[in-house]
Amino acid sequence: MSAAGAVLVLEDGRTFRGEAYGAVGETVGEAVFSTGMTGYQETLTDPSYHRQVVVMTAPHVGNTGVNDEDEESARIWVAGYVVRDPARVPSNWRSRRTLDAELAAQGVVGISGVDTRALTRHLRERGAMRVGVFSGEAAQRPAADLLEAVRSAPAMTGADLAGEVTTAEVYTVPAQGERRFTVAAVDLGIKSMTPQRMAERGIEVRVLPATATLEQVLTAGADGGAPDGVFFSNGPGDPSAATHEIEVLQGVLARRIPFFGICYGNQLLGRALGFGTYKLKYGHRGINQPVMDRATGKVEVTAHNHGFAVDAPLDGPSDTPFGRAVVSHVGLNDDVVEGLRCLDVPAFSVQYHPEAAAGPHDAGYLFDRFTDLMAGADPATTTGGTAAGDGPGAGSGAGTGAATSTDDTPKGA
């Protein structure tokens, strides 16, 4: 590891000093924290972290090194990386290189030796904010210059970023075994495990750029016909800035094509239905977030990465331009909307990551729910089964509503 000094500067002026970790230089972005104790390689390569500096709350990071199997995209997307106690030597049979070396090779500026507990508490109290990490010669600049560089960085609110992380070309992930369905997946920052989970269920996935038109989506099925379903992925940015994608989605809903959305896709479904979205105070990022499926009463431990949320009523169905819709899942920590389900068109979405990369397998049944929709199941009643290896499926029992709200997260647009 580099012995160069480094400094982290928050937009409100608070600073933390440490040592360079990864590349030496400077970077700016939005400071966010992730509570996952494992899965840092999937976090780093998740395109949803584009333009964000990730603070790891787990004190010891890098102990399993970096391998060639767990990437969720072709590169590291985080703008910067903050850790407390980096591993000196990785220990894992799949490890090929150290995390420090991988960050340096990809030009990702990080800092180690930081009191990440104090930094996380600061972000929880003050909210996510812009931050800069400066190391080597950059760290020697006057404090006023560093603070100005941070405050000059673009804010996440209003940012339309899907076009910066999406695929440039259409590609296909073939079904495993017999092809049952063909899905048009709009890549807003898709993680590689997501089409893999669909392929395991006999779905051929045609991955399209975020700029895909409605016509291109409607001709992405087998032999140039309509797809059996449409999927919108996770991705970075403010959903209120995504006008093109919302128009495409409204065209899909109007044609009653089965739809499934994850994370950013959930927010876009909310906006397509007429709901608002808002920025969370500090967001949800980690692999240990409890969520209730209100249709079954089942509580799932889930993987999250979102700084925005849908503003939809929790107390019953809402009338939308596409019929009735309900909040299907709710976060038990803070009452945040974590899923939507349409009752009159075949469409649903969740705010979290059922592909389990990284994270638990509790929500794998949602991919079965999608196949149920494409097979013609009633969107108001389908819950989906459980594929082998995906952990417990949807249980039975009445939903119990949402948990008590807290003051930590603002409600409303």
Superfamily of 162-374 according to CATH: Class I glutamine amidotransferase (GATase) domain (3.40.50.880)
Tell which residue, 51, 6, 27, has the closest CA to residue 164.
Answer: 51
* CB-based contact 279:157 (threshold 8 Å): yes
Residue 259 assigned as binding residue: no
Answer whether residue 392 shows pLDDT above 80: no
Instruction: Please tell me whether the peptide bond between 358 and the residue prior to it is cis, using omega within 30 degrees of 0.
Output: yes
Answer whether residue 77 shows pLDDT above 70: yes
Provide the pLDDT confidence category of residue 379 given band limits of 50, 70 and 90: low
Residue 370 assigned as binding residue: no
Write down the pLDDT at residue 406.
34
C-alpha span between 206 and 208 (Å, rounded): 6
The residue assigned the tokens 């030496």 is 24
Residue 267 assigned as binding residue: yes
- Mean pLDDT (whole number) for 31-43: 94
So which residues are the catalytic ones? 263, 353, 355
Provide the pLDDT confidence category of residue 394 given band limits of 50, 70 and 90: very low
Answer whether residue 384 shows pLDDT above 70: no
CB within 8 Å of 389: residues ≥ 6 apart: 361, 364
Residues of the chain with CATH 3.40.50.880: 162-374
Residue 48 assigned as binding residue: yes
- Mean pLDDT (whole number) for 46-50: 97
Write down the pLDDT at residue 214.
98
Answer whether residue 383 shows pLDDT above 60: no
The residue with greater pLDDT, 186 or 397, is 186
What class does CATH assign to 5-151?
alpha beta
pTM recorded for the entire structure: 0.90
Residue 305 assigned as binding residue: yes
